[in-house]
Structure 1
Amino acid sequence: MNLILLIMAFCVGVAMSVQAAVNTQLAASIGANSVVAAFVSFACGTIVLGGMALSRGGLGPTFAALATQPAWKFAGGFLGAAFVFGTVFLAPRIGLLSLIVLVIAGQLITSMAIDHFGLIHMAARKVSGVRMLGAGVVALGVAVTLFGERIVAGFGR
């Protein structure tokens, strides 16, 4: 795999954590309104992406092609909104670390299923035993992150 692409993926993970923290602070500063904070986040992102789209040739031909797309292909926007709202709502309630490890666990399980079975019209990439082991190690890390202190305290009794 291309090292630059792997570094970019890592940076996306960094951005997710920072985004959750920034949006949580925005929500707190506007009266704990998670929905408005998520809306503002999306509005800012829409402006940036709109500018980038215009700089790459405009939106006209793309908008024309949108009319022919099946409705399920628009689910990404709803899922993105749910993600941003979920992070803004959950981070102050369960903590950023718990939120992110659970997000990673959910992404890991779902991504393995999508890759393995070629779901949502993605290319099928069989999940090997070694990758399953790696996922298990990550799942164990999630469990230790979430419950490790209770487990250690239980041994001290």
Structure 2
Amino acid sequence: MSIFYYLLAISAGLGITLQTTLNAQLAKGVGGDSVAAALFSFTAGAVCLGLFSLMRGGIASSLAAIPAQPWWSLLGGVIGASALLSYVVLAPKIGLSALLGLAITGQIISSLFIDHLGLTGTVERPVSLIKLCGSIVMLLGLAIALFGDRLSAYLSS
């Protein structure tokens, strides 16, 4: 596998963190309306994707193929909008590191499950014991990063 793809994935993660902070700031700027902030953010993203699709070409054939797709394949947009809204709502309440740490926990668990079963047409990648152990170590690291200060304070009192 190319290191480029790994670097791109890291960049996407960095982008999600920045997006979350920007959307939380947008929500504050529009009077605390998280739904409106998520709508404005999604609209800006949709416009950018639309312009990119037009510049790249071939969008008409892609649009024509949409009715033939299974209904559930469009749930990605609903899930993305829900995730964005939850990020905007949760970031000021629980903090960015807790929010994204817990979101990563959900991503690790769901990705192992999806890979193992090869769901939604993905390549089946069985979860080996070593991969499971690595994921558990990652989750333990996240737990320490998120709750270590509280645990340390509790133990020292």
Residues of 2 paired with 1:154 and 1:111: CA distance?
33
Residue 25 of structure 2 corresponds to: 25
Residue 125 of structure 2 corresponds to: 125
Quote the RMSD (CA, aligned, Å). 1.0
Residue 10 of structure 1 corresponds to: 10
Q: 1:28: Cα distance to partner?
A: 0.4
Q: 1:145: Cα distance to partner?
A: 2.2
Q: How many residues align?
A: 157
Unaligned runs of 5+ in 1: none
Q: 1:95: Cα distance to partner?
A: 0.2
Q: 1:59: Cα distance to partner?
A: 2.1
Residue aligned with 2:20, SS: helix
Residue aligned with 2:141, SS: helix
Task: Deviation per CA, 1:26-61: give whole Å up to 9, x if none.
Answer: 000110010011001111101110011111214211
What is the letter of the counterpart of residue 76 of structure 1? G
After the TM superposition, which residues 50-129 of structure 1 pair with which residues of structure 2 at under 5 Å, given as runs? 50-129=50-129
Task: Deviation per CA, 1:88-134: give whole Å up to 9, x if none.
Answer: 00000000000000010000000000001111221101122221111
Q: 1:154: Cα distance to partner?
A: 2.2
Unaligned runs of 5+ in 2: none
What is the letter of the counterpart of residue 87 of structure 2? T
TM-score normalised by structure 1 residue count: 0.96
Residue 40 of structure 1 corresponds to: 40
